[in-house]
Structure 1
Amino acid sequence: MRKLFLPLLLLLAACVAEVPRNARIIVAGDSVMAWNGGSRNVAAQLQRILGEPVGDVSLSLAQVDGGIGPLNIPQQINAHAPEWVVLNGGANDLSRNCGCSDCAPVLDRLVSPDGSSGAIPELVTSLRAKGSKVVWVDYYTAPRYAGTTCEAPYQALEMRLSRMAAGDEGVTLVDLDQSFRSDDLSLFANDRIHPSTKGSALIAQSIVNRPDFAGGYFVQRLGDHIE
């Protein structure tokens, strides 16, 4: 089994795109960031909108408090210290370690109720200590789970993340429920969970449109050119 493990890690590492040396922005996280491939995912859409290099280390199945190598989100970004890190995470931790109920222990490991401790605040603190500003992208409500009990853990995660972000002006929380409608199926892939190409573009636009992303510099520079 161990003989198979190293080739698997090397294969996973090869799936992660290289980071341009002059990239001021790096995208990390799970399949919501990585979906639609390296030419149409969130990082590619950000690069298209901004007209500058954007690094991408995101990978499907990645976790915050689990996973090995590039399947661990802190490890994805560990070797980098860009001006901005755009990332997400937590969905795979929740789906693998709890159902749609009794998720409190998993949530607590990810981020405490007051937002001050847990794997996510630890990751954000480490990035801030390296001088990076952080954009944490919270999840949308996917059509497959809309109106079900599966919404509750993600609503709790959102509240905790908002408290975390409120404690540091260098951390921005982007709540995708403010721009995604779960009944607009054009925003979602056929599995009704992951974003379509249009959805990835909307995620990128939601990030860029935040006035606290790069101090509003990108919004001011692009003006009406943002599609």
Structure 2
Amino acid sequence: MTRWLLLTLALALSLLAACGRGVPQDARIVVAGDSVMAWNRSAGASVADRLEARLGEPVGDVSLPLAQVTGGRGPLNIPAQLDGVRAPWVVLNGGANDLSGCDCARCEPVLDRLISDDGRRGANPALVTDLRARGSRVVWADYYTSPRYAGTACEAPYRVLETRLARMAASDPGVTLVDMDRVFSPDDLSLFASDRTHPSRKGSARMADTIAPLLRR
């Protein structure tokens, strides 16, 4: 990679970090994770934006596109996004960018790093355990099936991830798994951005509407 490309990448990542909304001092809810959470932020219509409007209170947002659970540096690492954050509620997702390099067919090692079959070990449970020790309750937003990947081999790793996350959540009453496949259909293109992967504004609102009742005072 040329020096120019490295500088361009560094600038792009810096801009992504600068786009984060941050955490208001009085926020009792903080959103973290990857681009599914951060999408539509420039239009004031991300999941955090919609939660803030729905609940009528400040909502922190440290989510960023490209963020990973087991990789990434600084704010592009989801556990690092939450360094120093102490909030009654943390809403997050994670794992899609970790799985992006396994070609949808050889994902078991990546899945095992994220979360073990019993849901008790791996980077995801470690993050949740850390947040719970800080006094946070956790809402984990599981991924929906997007039109781009519906009906392909790429669905399988996410089904495994969901099953393992459900086992993780079942072991702790302070953790709730929200299955977005229950409110998203890959056939409803109005819920998706033009890339057929990320949520449209309507999709981000749908996510927030599903999560908000869990967060009411």
TM interval, shorter chain, is over 0.9
How do residues 51-62 of structure 1 correspond to structure 2 at under 5 angstroms? 51-62=56-67
Asked if structure 2 preserves the Cα contact closer than 8 Å seen for 1:110 and 1:118, the reply is: yes
CA distance in 1, matches of 2:51, 2:173: 22
Asked if structure 1 preserves the Cα contact closer than 8 Å seen for 2:16 and 2:65, the reply is: no
Structure 1 residue 10: Cα displacement: 4.4
Amino acid across the alignment from 2:41: G
Structure 1 residue 20: Cα displacement: 0.8
Asked if structure 2 preserves the Cα contact closer than 8 Å seen for 1:63 and 1:89, the reply is: yes
How do residues 173-192 of structure 1 correspond to structure 2 at under 5 angstroms? 173-192=177-196
1:92 counterpart residue number = 97
Structure 1 residue 145: Cα displacement: 0.7
Asked if structure 1 preserves the Cα contact closer than 8 Å seen for 2:192 and 2:203, the reply is: yes
CA distance in 2, matches of 1:188, 1:82: 30
Structure 1 residue 13: Cα displacement: 2.9
Task: From 17, 20, 25, give the equivalent of 1:16.
Answer: 20
1:103 counterpart residue number = 107
Structure 1 residue 19: Cα displacement: 1.1
Task: From 45, 50, 55, give the equivalent of 1:45.
Answer: 50
CA distance in 2, matches of 1:104, 1:150: 13
TM-score, normalisation: structure 2: 0.93
Structure 1 residue 8: Cα displacement: 6.3
Structure 1 residue 7: Cα displacement: 6.1
| Secondary structure at the counterpart of residue 169 of structure 1 | coil
Amino acid across the alignment from 2:97: N
CA distance in 1, matches of 2:117, 2:168: 9
1:225 counterpart residue number = none
TM-score, normalisation: structure 1: 0.89
1:79 counterpart residue number = 84
Structure 1 residue 156: Cα displacement: 0.2
Amino acid across the alignment from 1:179: V
CA distance in 2, matches of 1:13, 1:193: 22
Amino acid across the alignment from 2:61: D
Cα deviation 1:52-78 (Å, max 9, x = unaligned): 000000000000000000100000011
Cα deviation 1:154-187 (Å, max 9, x = unaligned): 0000000000000000000000001101100000
Amino acid across the alignment from 2:51: L
Aligned length: 211
1:205 counterpart residue number = 209
Structure 2 gaps, min length 5: none
1:146 counterpart residue number = 150
Q: Between the two proteins, what is the percent identity of the paired residues? A: 64
